[in-house]
Amino acid sequence: MTKPEQEETITSTWSNPLRVPCDLRLPRIADPCTLVIFGVTGDLARKKLLPAIYDLANRGLLPPGFGLIGFGRREWSDDDFKQWAQSYIQEHCRTPFHQSTWEQLSHGFYFVQGTFDDFNAFVRLKQRVLTVDHECGTYSNHAFYMSIPPRAFSLVSHQLAAAELTKHPSDTWQRVIIEKPFGHDLASAQELDKTVTSVFGAESIFRIDHYLGKETVQNLLALRFTNMLFEPIWNSHYVDHVQITMAEDFGIGSRAGYYDGVGAARDVIQNHLLQLLTLTAMEKPASFTSQDLSKEKINVLSAVRLPQDLARYTARGQYSAGWQGQEAVCGYLNEDGVSPESTTETYAALRLDIDTPRWNGTPFYLRAGKRLGKRVTEIAMIFKQIPQPLFDSVVEGNVGHNALVFRIQPNEGITLRFGSKVPGSRIDIRDVNMDFNYGQAFTEDSPEAYERLILDVFLGDAPLFPTSQEVDLSWKILDPIEQFWASQGQPEQYRSGTWGPHSADMLMMNDNRAWRMP
């Protein structure tokens, strides 16, 4: 092989071609760009977005030409904004805080005061964007992060277009980042997509689902498609059923204005849990590109079949007063901002079947809830039992199904449960766990999900972002369930600190199964 064949041309952030040896350890550095954050003073920006930007800078993954503009109602100067941002970055950043990194990064921090309905504010924003392009060398590449309520997406998109902030030279890019929820049903999701697409174009829209940025979620694909050990048994011949759980041990807090009327199913099942289902059930993609990944996820969502008896195979509940650890907590209907007649569910569970050759006959059970026994998100593959166990007469009573469990949060890792002989002269079999933990196995810290996803936006790489077709198919699955629940009146009450309503246990008992206790 000749020397030119051993080298690749890499374009630097300053658009100068460099001849360097091909080295997979070299990080991918994004093009120079400006990030505009709408809703920069909100919880998400304070606790996740700004710290993620700092951590990217600290890891050397931001381009030298980078600027950040915060858009908000507060009457701040640029220095006020920098001081405020530093306090939250120091509190929430994952990597060590270095003053030198912060000084270099904050040199490109700016603030624009205004409201979404004030067109003059967007005119001022355009002038500031042009200034940042000149002062920071961002080459007219702009990303707009809508960390705002979904009802404001349309207004902000039209204001950006009216101020000509979405126009750009052909060799630059403009991208928009949208936080879930992507609508509240199929019709609203399609209307939202129509509005945003008319301004930015489909290829420039990045729909954030932060669960897809978590290390264990991505490791699910790595484990499946790089290990011959698992792929042969990843099907209905060996898998009895799959449980996908997102349990939270806290209530709605101050989110009543958002949560009441939305509920657990729309909040996390339509997006987070259905996306986890697609990654668990999909066929091997041709590549890790966004097109090939999305194709396989769409195939799964298209093959999902709802149970005919929704009363039997769905469950919803609402937490009542109880104890969370040693703290007495109120019920959902007594939370500030919640109507005493609210029928919004804080717990949702359902069974789905996937009509593909791989999964025909293996049900998928999804559940999500607040004020449950502990905080945990996991995917549990429960395997079938041996038809004729050799040690049936000596097996202890606590031996169950083999299980492969992906712990997504907290304590990211993977657990394999299997039967093993108890030490001693007798042949006693007992379930044991084999654990893989990221914190123990690797010296590198796992990047926070928003670090990975924001960097992917800057790179224009979208394998972990749901497409509009995936969003539509997810709503087609959930809408009939929501319509059924709307006709059922008040959800069943469950005591805070427990694992949900009795109807959820009955959902599993109908199939002679039971929920895992994480």
Catalytic residues: 272
Cα 169 to chain centroid distance, Å, stands at 32
Determine the Cα–Cα distance for residues 1 and 452; give it in Å rounded to an integer.
Answer: 35
Q: How far apart are CA 184 and CA 267, in angstroms?
A: 9
Q: Do 260 and 337 form a contact (C-beta atoms < 8 A)?
A: yes
Would you list the DSSP string of 144-166? EEE-S-GGGHHHHHHHHHHTT-S
Q: Which pair of tokens denotes residue 421?
A: 């002989």
Return the sign of the alpha-carbon dihedral for residues 319, 323, 329, 330.
positive
Q: Could you identify the residue written with the tokens 């005061």?
A: 113
Q: Rounding to the nearest 10 degrees, give the CA dihedral for residues 272, 278, 284, 287.
A: -40
Residue 159 amino acid letter: Q
Nearest to 216 by CA among 474, 452, 471: 452
Q: In the structure encoding, which two tokens stand for residue 46, read together?
A: 């304070």
Q: Any long-range contacts for 86-92 (C-beta under 8 Å, 24+ apart)?
A: 88/46, 88/47, 88/50, 88/51, 89/50, 89/51, 89/54, 92/46, 92/47, 92/48, 92/50, 92/51
**Residue bearing tokens 């009939």:** 480
Cβ-contact 359, 351 below 8 angstroms: no
Beta-strand pair 492-495/314-320 = parallel
3-state per-residue secondary structure call for 314-342: EEEEEEECEEECCEEECCHHHCCCCCCCC
Q: Decide: 16 and 137 in contact? Cβ < 8 Å.
A: no
